[in-house]
With several copies, the nearest count.
Chain A
Amino acid sequence: MTENRTTAVDELPEREDEAKRDNYRVKLEVFEGPLDLLLFLIKKDEIDIYDIPIAHITEQYLEYLNLMEQLDISVAGDFLVMAATLIYIKSKMLLPPEPKLEGEEDLNEDPRAELVERLLEYQKFKAAASMFYSRAEIEAATYTRGAIETDTSNPEVSATVFDLLRVFREILKRAESAVEMEIHRDEITMAEKLAQINQMLSERFEINVRELFELAHSKRELILTFLAFLELVKETKITLVQRELFGEIYARRRQESIVQPVVDETENDQVTNDE
């Protein structure tokens, strides 16, 4: 890999050779970020990381960015930030050191010090990443048991906070697409309408009848809603309550009746025929 990287930087493409360009593109993109690139440049020239010739490195670094631009590779902001840092360090190194006063600490810290520290730190994690890679390879070769009965009878997964958020986002998305589907939906049947009312009644003590009519998407559905109410009243499964003259009408489930949503097919047909 080192070989490839060297090629990529040393042999700048002289001519606009498309095939070659693509080749470079692949090799160039190996760098993960500015620190990775810097480490590469340091290793390539066998530079002592504690004494980086900053002018030389800056020049190489900028050359690389230039190359990226030539090849139409968008240079990530992080690379540009590092370029600015390098130039800043370079300029600081050109300034004469401030005279040291008697008894005071030397304020002239090496301008490169912070960068070196970051490089050393980054390097450790880069090496640690390869350790993680190896460990994962070993573990991937072990398998846990296949599904057994208890899994399906207790189908529970352990969840994290992120799962909560992920699931919540999915629900919101699903709700959005459900609204779209509604428009194309086939006409509702009497059975469905009865089931819908029953379900609402199971969750609430009473429903505002007007609210139910507002749910209807078509004239046909309005009629069905009306018929469904009549049906339920006739079967004494619900009572209609009006608290004041001309007030809202509420449907209430009768205490004793467990509303059976089952409507058999013949009845369903009849209703449709009646229309």
Chain B
Amino acid sequence: MNDDEIKDQIEPGVADESATEVEVEWVDFDSSDDDQPEGLSAEEEEELASDPEIVVTATRAELQPVIEALLFVAEEPLPFKQICKVLGDVPEDDVRAAMDELVAGYEERESGLEIREIAGGWRISTRPQHHEFIRKYLKSRPSARLSLPALETLAVIAYKQPITVPEILEIRGVTSSSAIKTLLEKRLIVTRGRKETVGRPMMYGTSKEFLIQFGLKDLSELPSIEDFEDLAQ
């Protein structure tokens, strides 16, 4: 299916990108201001609160794929009742049948995923027998993936290098030891000798790997606060 076809399914007619369409589409924009808020206005928010539920009912053919899509986006096991509610005015027996077929389908084709009833709801998850590959994948992710504490610590080191642990503590206000360990493991930072002060603490700076991961030729390419001051207007 190409984009236009998809689009026709979503909003018939919008797919055409000719100039006249452009004009029509502009009506949707509230482009009065360069920095207008992208979100909802107070008015719209209110409207949303009283927004009647989207009234849609799934056709019989849609039942299986829609259930599948719902299980996929749900963050928690999805209770059967809730699935029924989303599907609209469909007999529960039909939903149950579609559900059973869906689950059986996953079993039959020996999918890497499975649908199971757990904690009072239905959930898609990977099958346990593939866990080794999944662990291997999680370990192989690029090093520029960081937890928030690690990202914060890296930011301080990047902009204040060379810097010692107590100095990082001073700036961040929280202890950063485990973050520093993580960053060292990911080779994003390196030691930079000792500071000639009481206790001669280690100093840290960013590594070559850091430059590679963040796509920088050298440290002078790091954006400075001044670079963004004009943008902040």
Contacts and interface: CB of A to CB of B under 8 A. Distances in A.
Interface of A: 1-2, 26, 29-30, 32-36, 76-78, 82, 118, 120-148, 150-152, 154-165, 167-172, 174-175, 178, 189, 191-192, 195-196, 198-200, 202-206, 208, 250, 253, 255, 258-259, 261-262
Contacts of A33: 172-174
Nearest to A121: B171
Given A127-B22, A135-B214, A157-B148, 16 more contacts: A122-B173, A123-B228, A125-B156, A134-B14, A135-B216, A142-B114, A147-B75, A150-B73, A150-B138, A151-B75, A164-B151, A164-B222, A202-B26, A208-B198, A258-B32, A259-B31
Given A124-B226, A164-B151, A136 B214 contact: yes
Nearest to A146: B75
Interface residues of B, number: 94
Which label, helix, strand, loop or mixed, suits the secondary structure of the A interface?
Answer: helix
A158 B148 CA distance: 10
Given A130-B21, A134-B14, A261-B23, A139 B212 contact: yes
Contacts of A147: 75
B213 A134 contact: no
Interface centre among B27, B126, B142, B150 (most CB of A within 10 A): B126
Contacts of B124: 144-145
Contacts, number: 308
Contacts of B29: 202
A195 B19 contact: yes
Contact of B148 (A127, A129, A140, A204): A129
Interface of B: 3, 6-7, 9-11, 14-15, 17-27, 29, 31-36, 69, 72-76, 114, 123-129, 131, 134, 138, 141-152, 154-156, 158-159, 165-166, 169, 171-175, 177, 184, 187, 190-191, 198-201, 207, 212-216, 221-226, 228-229, 231-233
